[in-house]
Amino acid sequence: STVRKVIARRLTESKQTVPHYYLTVHCDIDKLMQVRKEVNEGAVGYKLSVNDFIIKAAALAQIRVPHANVSWTEEAVLQYSRADISVAVATDNGLITPIIKDAASKSLKEISVEIKDLAARAREGKLKPQEFQGGTMTVSNLGMFGIAEFAAIINPPQSCIVAVGASEQRAVVKDGKVVPATVM
């Protein structure tokens, strides 16, 4: 389709013209999972996902590290004061990245409700251009498909993308003892 051709062209161009380097971090998310469980037990009308926490963390990281909250043009590097987080959503027509605008200032509930709405409308082909064009960073999560780790491709003109894999139970060392932990 035309959409898939555009996606292929843009991502190929990104790999050819944007310096990519990859960093991998394994995070113990047991505390996150406990907080999520507690919030969801008392929640009415919404349920937080792990991805909601990741979107919020990515936005806060961009605010904390403003040199990463940039995009580039032929004329200049543009630095942003807010974090507009694009979230990769697979649709029948290809990948689209709806945006949670100013995600650092939103609550987890606001992020959760907004991304569910945007993702549903993305799959129906009902997003407005301003809802998927722009963004300061992308979060791409393949964890729900059992993918442990992958190398995501930067979505120009953004300067970074976060590739999120599945969580799993592992034996880890804490305070000199081997204990189970949920690691992502």
- 106-165 tens-digit pLDDT: 999 999 999 999 999 999 999 998 999 889 999 999 999 999 999 999 988 898 999 999
What integer pLDDT is reported at residue 94 of this predicted model?
84
Tokens of 82: 């807010």
pLDDT exceeds 80 at position 3: no
Q: Which has the closest alpha carbon to 115: 88, 152, 146, 83?
A: 88
Least confident of 6-10, 76-80, 100-104, 174-178: 6-10
pLDDT exceeds 90 at position 5: no
With 0-12 / 13-18 / 19 or more C-beta atoms within 10 angstroms meaning exposed / middle / buried, residue 175 is exposed
Helix axes 50-64, 108-123, angle to 10 degrees: 110
| Confidence category of residue 11, pLDDT binned at 50, 70, 90 | confident
